[in-house]
Copies of this chain bind each other. A is one copy, B any other.
Amino acid sequence: MPTIKDLAKEADLAVGTVSRVLNNRGYISEETRNKVYSAMKRIGYSPNTFAQGLSKKKMDCIAVIVPHITHPYFAKMISRLEKEASRKGYKVIIFNSSGDAARESDELLRYQSSFISGALLFSADISAEDLMSFRIPLVLVEREPVGNAVSIQCDNVTGGRLAAEHLIKKGCRELIAISSINTADMPGDDRSNEFVRVCSENGAGVRRYNADPEQYLSLNYHEMIRQALDENPGCDGIFATSDLIAAQVIQECNKKGLRIPEDIKLVGFDDVELAKLTYPTITTVHQPISEIAEAAIETIEKLNEGKTVPRKIVLPVTLIERGSA
């Protein structure tokens, strides 16, 4: 079995350089890289020979459990998590619960032992208690803390307040909050709760609509939006608790001949790519997705090192003004 020494000799490079290539450490020129790869082929140096000896620790993967992948918020979150994890030498394994919670926790249970360093749970339909029995570091994102699992959230309450204050400042008096499902342990509800509170506090009219689980699963909120618009003909301001809902509000307003922002002003939540792809673009509450990803990976690292971590991390939000309000 050829060794790294043989490989270095064949590639006519120092062992340290070859090791840097194999471990992807420090700067390596394309030429050096290719030298090593072609030498590997020539002497049949199989990755297996070194991968085992590569690092003392097991392969480091992080399980990311999400209810949707195509939902723009989760697509962006997965992207940032992959980037941050990769930077720290982890890879991301996707678990898409999409309603089938049992399957997911079983699969995680099945895979975790061998190479998963920690799990990030976004899905509300999976029990954090079950996951905790698997004895791997567990971080809950946008969910209330359970047991000793760490919870990372954005400041949903302030987000709801910023949306209300912005719409009221723009002159809106008859407002609607259109939210996704209302489930107990999802802090996302704080967004519309606070929005409604601040509107009332300012003497503005406000009504609230929540999606049912089926709408959330299909990510199709059109019917609820049509109902909200029909029941509130005088509505001049809408807060959608996700940019995905906001994009569908723009479609329904167009169908009814309601102009945004002239007739109805609209504020979304998340600040995902979609908010920049609609017409008008969506004024929205920016979620610190990169910062959440960073905090999540860092927390899993610390937990694996036995370090103390905060029980709950709440990251700040800001309002991004675009075309819709």
Residues of A within 8 A of B (CB): 21-24, 28, 30, 33, 37, 40-41, 46-48, 51-52, 54, 59, 61, 68-70, 72, 75-76, 78-79, 82-83, 86, 91-96, 98, 102-103, 106-107, 109-115, 130, 133-135, 219, 244, 247-248, 250-251, 254-255, 272-274, 277-279, 281
Contact = CB atoms under 8 A, between A and B. Distances in A.
**Which residue among A52, A72, A91 has the maximum number of chain B CB atoms within 10 Å of its CB?**
A91
B96 A94 contact: no
Contact of A86 (B37, B96, B114): B96
B24 A106 contact: yes
14 contacts: A22-B110, A24-B102, A46-B113, A47-B110, A47-B112, A51-B114, A52-B113, A70-B79, A70-B272, A83-B98, A86-B96, A86-B103, A91-B94, A115-B115
- What is the count of identical protomers in the complex? 2
Nearest to A78: B69
Contacts of A281: 251
B279 A251 contact: yes
Contacts of A103: 24, 86
Given A94-B92, A102-B28, A103-B24, A59 B279 contact: no
B279 A254 contact: yes
Given A24-B102, A82-B94, 10 more contacts: A21-B106, A22-B109, A51-B111, A51-B112, A59-B114, A91-B94, A247-B277, A248-B277, A251-B279, A277-B278
A93 B91 contact: yes
Nearest to A75: B75
A83 B97 CA distance: 10
Contacts of A24: 102-103, 106-107, 110
Report whether over half of chain A's contact residues are helix, strand or loop; otherwise say mixed: helix
Contact of A93 (B51, B92, B130): B92
A129 to B, nearest CB: 8
Contact of A277 (B52, B113, B274): B274
